[in-house]
Structure 1
Amino acid sequence: MIKFFKNFRKTLINEGKTTKYFKYAIGEIVLVVIGILIALQINNWNENRLTKIVKSNYLKQIKAELILDVTNFKKDIRSIKTYTEYLNKVSEGNYNNIDLSLLLNYLCRNLEPGNCGISFNKMLESNTFEEIDGETIKEKLQTYYLTNCAEYNNLTAFHSKFISENIEGPLLLILNHKKGFLVDPKEVIEQLEVGKLKSMINWQISYLNYYIPSINKNISLAEELIQLINHD
């Protein structure tokens, strides 16, 4: 085909048909330009298609992580209720149906930080986040991961450090530890009458309950994001 066009141009030039040659040359340029534009359009379409696929995959991964977050947060709330129910009974002197030898297992409990935002961070790093349609879902994703989850992890970090420094250490001095982190119920009752142990218990109850609004806020936003992703 290329050889044909070359021969055709030579024939026009040799026959002195300059005007026809220029018309042909312009037509050829137009065809080349159209071909380039079509190629660019196809390339852009293909890039957009691939970007949508990558975005969709990230959102699917984020949705799966959000579902897991909700499960874990609800598990945390159940744990808090279990811990505080036991500790409230100890603090109030209601020792029926509880095992005081297990006090340390409840008093030294802290929640684990959430491993949130793995796929979200990858999406940010790949510059795919801006491809999400709709400002609402983008704003809520940023609020959930960069604000809510970050605050929750700060709570758990402070809680863990406080227990390590202000509860676990002092408990070694006021209660005799047995294997399996067990203590003597009689010693527990004696120390509760002194006051310091009860203060530790009440602080733990207060801090565990302090988690609940933060966790409920995270659950609510995570469930909302799951619905938004379903309709994206």
Structure 2
Amino acid sequence: MIKIFNKVKRKLLIEGKFKSYLLYAIGEILLVVIGILIAIKIDDINREVQLRDDEIGNYKQIIIDLKRDSALSNNYHKRGTVYLNTYFKLNQIVNDGSGFKGVTTDFLVSNIQFSPVTQNNHQTTIEKLRNNLVREQINSYFGQLQQVMQATDEFNTLISQFSRPYFLLEHEIFNNEAIFKYEDRRFPPLLGVSTVDTTKLKKVMKHQHFIPIISQLRMSIGFYLASIERSMIENHKIIKDLEGRI
């Protein structure tokens, strides 16, 4: 193509048609410029398509981990509800003297957990998302997760600094027969065996500090459950939104 253009220009010069030569040269330049602009446009379109594909790929990976968060949060919530029911039942026992059947007394001294995965796996990716609304939604969700972590830390602090010293050190409510079962030295809770002696616990329940402690535990686990519930609502909204963008 270039050889043809050059041949035409040489012919025009030889024939002395300078005006035609000039117009032809300008036309040639315009044609080259138009070709460059078209190439740039095509490159921009291809780049935009690639960026869109990458964004959708990120959405899909985030959705996978958001659903994992949802399943984990559901399990944490179920277990936390058992803690809550335990404190209500213990308060009932104090009031009416009912028995310990169905009560997980180990929850007086047991920690709780919360370990979602989306923030750890995608924090850097989310900061690079081009859609501001999506990025803000996910960061808002991360804020909700931080509140759950705060609730988790607050509850575990109550357990370690107040409940355990009171029940295990001051009043020694451990069930030593279960703890020191020489023929089976595995962790008793994993075997479904309570480490709390309910006979000892029944006596402790008459002390003035028992109700204040389980009241604190009840309020703290309530904050934990409410925080999880709010994070799950946000989680489900984001999943629905991202699935609608794919």
SS in 1 for 2:206: helix
8 Å Cα contact 1:84/1:205 also seen in 2: yes
Tell which has more relative contact order, 1 or 2 (C-alpha 8 A, sep 6+). Answer: 1
Letter in 1 for 2:43: N
Which residue is equivalent to 1:157? 153
Measure how far apart 1:8 and its partner are.
Answer: 2.8
Measure how far apart 1:46 and its partner are.
Answer: 0.6
Distance in 1, Cα, partners of 2:153 & 2:56: 33
8 Å Cα contact 2:112/2:155 also seen in 1: yes
Aligned residue pairs, count: 224
Flag the 1:45–1:119 CA change in 2: closer, same or farther, 3 A: farther
Flag the 1:47–1:110 CA change in 2: closer, same or farther, 3 A: same
Letter in 2 for 1:140: Q
What CA RMSD, in Å, does the superposition of the two structures yield over aligned residues? 2.4
Question: Which of 111, 114, 139 is matched with 2:113 structurally?
Answer: 111
Measure how far apart 1:55 and its partner are.
Answer: 0.9
8 Å Cα contact 1:112/1:156 also seen in 2: yes
Measure how far apart 1:51 and its partner are.
Answer: 0.8
The sequence identity of aligned pairs, in percent, is 21
1:1-232 matches, cutoff 5 A: 1-93=1-93, 94-98=98-102, 103-118=105-120, 120-125=122-127, 127=128, 129-131=129-131, 135=133, 137-145=134-142, 147-173=143-169, 174-175=171-172, 177=174, 178=176, 179=179, 180=188, 182-232=195-245
Where does the alignment leave 5 or more consecutive residues of structure 1 unmatched? none
8 Å Cα contact 2:126/2:135 also seen in 1: no
Distance in 2, Cα, partners of 1:116 & 1:153: 14
Distance in 1, Cα, partners of 2:11 & 2:34: 25
Letter in 2 for 1:230: E
Q: Which runs of 4+ in 1 moved over 6 A?
A: none
Letter in 1 for 2:243: N
Flag the 1:203–1:118 CA change in 2: closer, same or farther, 3 A: same
Letter in 1 for 2:116: G
Distance in 2, Cα, partners of 1:193 & 1:220: 41
8 Å Cα contact 1:176/1:183 also seen in 2: yes
SS in 2 for 1:161: helix
**TM-score scaled to structure 2, two decimals?**
0.79
Flag the 1:197–1:116 CA change in 2: closer, same or farther, 3 A: farther
